[in-house]
Structure 1
Amino acid sequence: MIEMTPALCSMQSSRSRMRQCLEGYSLTVSGLDLGYGSSCNNRSEPRLTPLQLKVVNRIMPDNTVRTQAWQRYGACSPYSSSSYFRQIVNMASELELPRELNTGNSYTVTKTSFVNQMLRLNPGMRASSLDLICKDGNRRQSILTQVRVCYEGGGFGQCRTVVDNCGNNFIISGGK
């Protein structure tokens, strides 16, 4: 689950004090659902070595987000917190994203062109491997807030639950 940080920071005042908002991140990872059930209510804290924490901070800079991801998705899996976050880092490093997502500029894009670009950048990905989630911004324009990438086994899979509420055009908010 990839969050479009500038959009969420501007749309949700509760996020304004989060590290990724304060430091101007363009994209962050909010978790990895491994299919072992969400909200398993395991209140354990993830344990990461200082080196691993440094690596994970690049894509998940907020401690609260890391803890929630672990408690919601990782703690119910057979993986240790170290293995869970290693898997997140590995998957994030292998995923190619359109460079426009990191420009810091805001622009309107068609859903078709965005999906096609994702498919070109990521061999084996299908349109059904993506779930684009938007929220209404000013003037009722859809703003991309999250991209869910679905995996199965060792590759891209089909998303089982889909929100896909962005419509034919949406805004990618770069914060400017």
Structure 2
Amino acid sequence: MNKVNSLIKQQSLLLLFAIGFVLSITSSFIHANPLNGYVMEIQMTPATCLLDATKTKRRECLEGYALNIVGLYPETTTANCRTNSSAILPPIQAKVVASVMPNETARVNLWKNIGGCVLMTASQYFRYVINLADRLNIPIVMTRQESTHIQQNMLRTMFTKLNSGLPPQGIHFQCSSHRNVSYLTHIKICYNKNGKYRTCPETIETKCPKSFVIKGSY
């Protein structure tokens, strides 16, 4: 009986040691990779194709996309988020992802640069991107064929009315000028680590005048 009790005690100590070791590694990993939230960057495709001649032959430009997702970036203090894990997606998922992120090379490079900080596989990450994209309601003015001149505050209000919980400072706009016309080129939307809208950190700012042009798809 004493031998049995001794064996049980030894096994219990080994189990406690193993649990403690795993928790220690997990804790260290979490602290080494603090994730505060995400920033989704959306590209206004027609404006980008107009402003950057090197992109005119990309699929999104040739096929007349109104907008596309550049990436969902983890907000973290970790300096290096690179990963060597595979970015290959199952064929059906790849087709779905291509509807909002049409450039496969860009998707692979995105994953290689941020995959080490999102605590997901590539398949889980891109599924998460699609889920957030499906939830986001886009003002119709952003997908028209004709160009539209609009006030910045008006567009911000459209977004907050269409998306419950999105604070005014949870969305920021970026513009670039072409022939003295300011075009909306990118939109950034901020989420907490659970995928809820939140106010963006101070490092993210709107870089647009009070009014600008949303370029039409044609």
Residue aligning to 1:34: 74
Give the Cα separation in 1 of the matches to 2:79 and 2:49. Answer: 24
Contact 1:6/1:24, CA 8 A, preserved across alignment? yes
The answer (yes or no) to whether the contact 1:75–1:81 under 8 Å persists in 2 is: no
Unpaired runs of at least 5, structure 1: none
Contact (CA 8 Å) 2:65, 2:217: kept in 1 or not?
no
Judging changes above 3 Å, is the alpha-carbon distance between structure 1 residues 12 and 45 closer, same or farther for their aligned structure 2 residues?
Answer: farther
| 1:15-164 aligned within 5 A | 15-36=55-76, 37=78, 40-139=81-180, 141-152=181-192, 153-160=194-201, 161-164=203-206
Contact persistence 1:19–1:62 (CA under 8 A): yes
- Structure number having the greater helix percentage: 2
Q: Calculate percent identity across the aligned residue pairs.
A: 31
Larger Rg: 2
Question: Deviation digits for residues 104-126 of structure 1, max 9, x if unmatched?
Answer: 21111000110000000001011
Q: 1:34 to 1:41 in 2, by over 3 A?
A: closer
Structure 2's unaligned 5+ residue stretches are 1-40
Deviation at 1:175, TM superposition (A): 3.6
**8 Å CA contact retained: 2:81, 2:115:** no
State the distance in 1 between where 2:79 and 2:44 align.
Answer: 22
Runs of 4+ with >4 A deviation: 36-39
Distance in 2 (CA, whole Å) between partners of 1:14 and 1:113 is 32
The two structures, once aligned, show a CA RMSD in angstroms of: 1.6
Tell me if structure 2 keeps the 8 A contact 1:34–1:74.
no
